Amino acid sequence: MSGPLAGIRVIELARILAGPWAGQTLADLGAEVIKVEAPEGDDTRRWGPPFIDRGDTQEAAYFHATNRGKASVTADFRTPEGQQKTRELVAGADVLIENFKVGGLAKYGLDYASLSALNPGLIYCSITGFGQTGPYAHRAGYDYIIQGMSGLMSVTGPAEGMPHKVGVAVTDIITGIYASTAILAALHERTRTGLGQHIDLALMDSAVAIMANQAMNYLATGTAPTRLGNFHPNLAPYQVVPCCDGHIIIATGNDAQYQRLCNLLGLEALAEHPDYQNNAKRVSRGTELSDLICEKTQNWAKDALLTACESQGVPAGPINDMAEVFADPQVIARGLELDMQGMKGVRSPFNFSAHPDLQHSPAPKLGADD
């Protein structure tokens, strides 16, 4: 392997998404990641259609989205042989990632206390729905449920009707990213102490943490934010607008951008109107301002309005489907679509001057490295 983490060995006792996403992130950075799977494999190998056909094997595209760059070995933790095989792997490892229920690995002798005695330098990262402590620690964690419990769905979707989830399992993914960040911090600390440690990551914690301005809006006012559809709670105009052939996004972040938008739409009187002269006033009159702007934008074609916005320094962008994403000149220029030994994938977003050609390989076949 090449990359900033070359020489780091990671044992992944994880399946589905959050744990494997952390493992894939470390693999993308050059770590050797050995995925230890039950004899039947990670559940997501069967989460299709669609499936990726590799001649002698067929796995779901979902599995390939989160297991790039790893090796695969099989071990049945219920057997002494499987437990011993795993311990032998851990003995020479730097990091272990697991997402079993709290206490689920202790009966196999694969918990932190047991494995840190074997390998005192081990960074042991546990990922669960609700963490190792608290009244919900025993519960299974599912992204959809966490999106609801964390407040994310309370601010997602139209103002009327039912709340909406985000279109990908975002709390799983962000927990995987937080996990990889925590692992890197623990590895850095190990250079000073020589000792590993246990990292406790929870989907619920991560989901609450990413509520960002929405959480602070509540803490600052005591009023829970509500769903605003495609409007922004702190900026205006910052929204989807209609065009004669679809919709685009316009996202003004300051007074000057707002004024330029008004001028290009022929709303010069609105640019300096005292009711909208600063962001706070625009937010307080967001609906009426939106109506005035949308009345103008609906007469424009999407491409023409996007071109006009770019020429005038007004932040705007299209609403792409995935086909349009991978045909976008910027996505093409950044090389985000991978071709890994004839298999397509999505490149990690890392770009290092010292490692301009990070290596990526396809997700492993089950037990390929036994």
Tens of pLDDT, residue by residue over 327-356, are 999 999 999 999 998 899 999 999 999 998
Place of tokens 């770009």: 351
Per-residue model confidence (pLDDT) at position 341: 85
**Domains annotated on the chain, with CATH:** 9-210+336-346 (3.40.50.10540), 238-319 (3.30.1540.10)
Average pLDDT, the chain: 96
Position 223 pLDDT exceeds 90: yes
Position 254 pLDDT exceeds 80: yes
Q: What is the mean pLDDT of residues 210-216?
A: 97
Check: CB of residue 306 under 8 Å from CB of residue 312: no
Over the stretch 90-147, which tens digit does the pLDDT of each residue have?
999 999 999 999 999 999 999 999 999 999 999 999 999 999 999 999 999 999 999 9
Per-residue model confidence (pLDDT) at position 244: 98
* Residue type (1 letter), 307: T
Is residue 172 annotated as part of the catalytic site, yes or no? yes
Q: What is the mean pLDDT of residues 3-20?
A: 97
SS3 241: strand
Place of tokens 């390939």: 64
Tokens found for residue 166: 């985000």
Per-residue model confidence (pLDDT) at position 347: 93
User: Of the candidates 300, 296, 44, which has an alpha carbon nearest to the alpha carbon of residue 169?
Assistant: 44
Check: CB of residue 73 under 8 Å from CB of residue 370: yes
Per-residue model confidence (pLDDT) at position 342: 85
d(CA 13, CA 70): 12
d(CA 171, CA 210): 9
d(CA 216, CA 17): 28
Place of tokens 């790893």: 70
d(CA 8, CA 355): 16
User: Of the candidates 40, 27, 29, which has an alpha carbon nearest to the alpha carbon of residue 366?
Assistant: 40
Position 165 pLDDT exceeds 90: yes
Per-residue model confidence (pLDDT) at position 365: 95
Residue 270, C-beta contacts closer than 8 angstroms, at least 6 positions apart: 262, 276, 289, 292
CA 340 to chain centre: 22
Per-residue model confidence (pLDDT) at position 1: 61
CA atoms within 13 A of residue 193's CA, in its CB half-sphere: 13
Check: CB of residue 90 under 8 Å from CB of residue 83: no
CB atoms within 10 A of CB 89: 17
Per-residue model confidence (pLDDT) at position 334: 96
* Residue type (1 letter), 227: R
d(CA 87, CA 71): 17
SS3 53: strand
Bridge partners (DSSP) of residue 201 are 127
Name the active-site residue from 28, 94, 172, 205. Answer: 172
Per-residue model confidence (pLDDT) at position 359: 83
Position 56 pLDDT exceeds 90: no
User: Of the candidates 166, 278, 283, which has an alpha carbon nearest to the alpha carbon of residue 231?
Assistant: 283
Q: What is the mean pLDDT of residues 201-224?
A: 97
Check: CB of residue 26 under 8 Å from CB of residue 5: yes
Instruction: Give percent of the chain above pLDDT 70.
Output: 100
pTM of the model: 0.94
d(CA 306, CA 315): 9
Position 68 pLDDT exceeds 70: yes
Dihedrals phi, psi of 242, to nearest 5 degrees: -80, 145
Beginning with the edge strand found earlier in the chain, give each strand of the sheet holding 123-128 in spatial order: 71-74, 32-37, 9-13, 95-98, 123-128, 197-202
d(CA 142, CA 260): 45
Instruction: Give percent of the chain above pLDDT 90.
Output: 96
Dihedrals phi, psi of 346, to nearest 5 degrees: -115, 125
Position 8 pLDDT exceeds 70: yes
Q: Give the C-alpha distances (Å, rounded to integers) separating 97 from 30, 76, 182, 232, 333.
A: 16, 17, 11, 37, 34
Check: CB of residue 75 under 8 Å from CB of residue 366: no
Over the stretch 268-322, which tens digit does the pLDDT of each residue have?
999 999 999 999 999 999 999 999 999 999 999 999 999 999 999 999 999 999 9
Residue 162, C-beta contacts closer than 8 angstroms, at least 6 positions apart: none
